């Protein structure tokens, strides 16, 4: 019997795009396309089971083996450093991690820089590399508000089109890293399901080239 492959998808636009790729790559699951409150969807003929999880939780499900594979943004991998295989750059969900501030922002080099962010580890690593003393303000959403209200000097956040920044009179000052969606695998299940995992990987890689 073929082993089942469990795939964790991030809820939201990225997950839907990723499922689209998997579907086109030969791993469709009709049940997932019906709206409803179900959490797990399976296609027994292909031996594949999908589930939607919060994007920042995908790597946890995969690292702890609840999912064999997952689709996750590179930002989450950089922030949480999970012990997983990073098998492919899917080339979707492209954006960048950047430092942004108010248009009239001047770096207060003589004092501690206050940085608001959802990504404290990435932020800490970036500024440590520049030997800059910072004060991290860990927020969970609406990061853009922080410099407007004077809570922080700058923010470190994901910038996709820059529209939110522009509409709030903010602008990007430095780019930290470019981000895109990655296919990740649980290290142990890869050992026992390597054929099945590599088949998914091969089909996705081909799908990526076809899209190009």
Partner 1 sequence: MKTEAVWKTEEQAVFSLRRLYRSYGYGPYKLSKFEEYELYVRNKDFLVSDQIITFSNGSGRLMALKPDVTLSIVKNAPDEPGVVRKVYYNENVYRDYREILQTGLECVGDLGEYEIAEVVLLAVKSLALLGQDYILNLSHMGLVAAVLSACGITGPEGRRAMDCLRRKNLHELERLCRGREGAWEKLRVLAESRGGGQVLDRIRSVLTTGAERQALEELQDLWKVLETSGCGGSIRLDFSVGSDLGYYSGVVFRGYLAGIPTGILSGGQYDKLARKMGKRCRAIGFAIYLNQLDQSEKENSLDVDTLILHDGRTDTAILTAAAQEAAREGSVLVTTTLPSDRHWGRLIRMEGGQSQ
- Residue 196 contacts residue 3 (beta carbons within 8 Å): yes
Task: State the binding string over 57-96 for partner 1 (x if CB under 8 A, else -).
Answer: ------xxxx----------------xxxxxxx-------
- Interaction of residue 169 with partner 1, rule CB under 8 A: no
Contacts of 196 (CB under 8 A, 6+ apart): 2, 3, 5, 47
* 170-179 sheet: strands from edge to edge: 134-138, 113-117, 154-159, 95-102, 170-179
Coil, helix or strand at residue 91: coil
- Interaction of residue 194 with partner 1, rule CB under 8 A: yes
Our CA dihedral for 95, 209, 76, 127, rounded to 10 degrees, sits at -50
Q: In whole angstroms, give the CA distance from residue 141 to residue 76.
A: 15
CB of 34 to partner 1, least distance (A): 30
CB of 187 to partner 1, least distance (A): 7
- Interaction of residue 191 with partner 1, rule CB under 8 A: yes
Determine the size of the site formed for partner 1 (CB under 8 A).
20
- Interaction of residue 125 with partner 1, rule CB under 8 A: no
Our CA dihedral for 83, 87, 89, 90, rounded to 10 degrees, sits at -120
Part of the chain binding partner 1 (CB under 8 A), chosen from 38-46, 149-157, 165-173, 186-194: 186-194
CB of 185 to partner 1, least distance (A): 8
Q: In whole angstroms, give the CA distance from residue 83 to residue 134.
A: 28
Part of the chain binding partner 1 (CB under 8 A), chosen from 29-37, 133-141, 156-164, 184-192: 184-192
Part of the chain binding partner 1 (CB under 8 A), chosen from 95-103, 138-146, 158-166, 181-189: 181-189
Looking at beta carbons only, is 98 or 181 nearer to partner 1? Answer: 181
Looking at beta carbons only, is 89 or 107 nearer to partner 1? Answer: 89
Contacts of 206 (CB under 8 A, 6+ apart): 25
- Interaction of residue 128 with partner 1, rule CB under 8 A: no
Helices (H), 25-119: 58-63, 74-80
- Interaction of residue 1 with partner 1, rule CB under 8 A: no
By CB under 8 A, name the binding residues for partner 1. Answer: 63-66, 83-89, 185-192, 194
């Amino acid at each position: 019997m073929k082993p089942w492959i469990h795939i964790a998808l991030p809820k939201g636009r990225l997950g839907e795009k990723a499922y689209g790729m998997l579907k086109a790559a030969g791993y469709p699951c009709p049940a997932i396309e019906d709206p409803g409150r179900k959490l797990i969807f399976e296609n027994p003929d292909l031996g594949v089971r999908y589930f939607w999880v919060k994007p920042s939780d995908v790597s946890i499900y995969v690292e702890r083996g609840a999912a064999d594979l997952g689709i996750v943004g590179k930002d989450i991998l950089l922030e949480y450093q999970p012990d997983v295989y990073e098998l492919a750059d899917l080339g979707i969900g492209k954006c960048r991690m950047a430092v942004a501030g108010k248009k009239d922002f001047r770096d207060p080099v003589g004092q501690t820089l206050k940085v608001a962010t959802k990504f404290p580890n990435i932020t800490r690593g970036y500024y440590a590399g520049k030997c800059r003393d910072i004060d991290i303000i860990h927020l969970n959403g609406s990061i853009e508000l922080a410099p407007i209200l004077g809570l922080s000097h700058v923010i470190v956040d994901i910038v996709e089109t820059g529209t939110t920044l522009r509409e709030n009179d903010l602008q990007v000052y430095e780019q930290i890293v470019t981000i895109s969606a990655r296919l990740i695998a649980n290290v142990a299940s890869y050992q026992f399901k390597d054929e099945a995992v590599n088949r998914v990987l091969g089909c996705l890689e081909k799908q990526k080239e076809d899209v190009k």
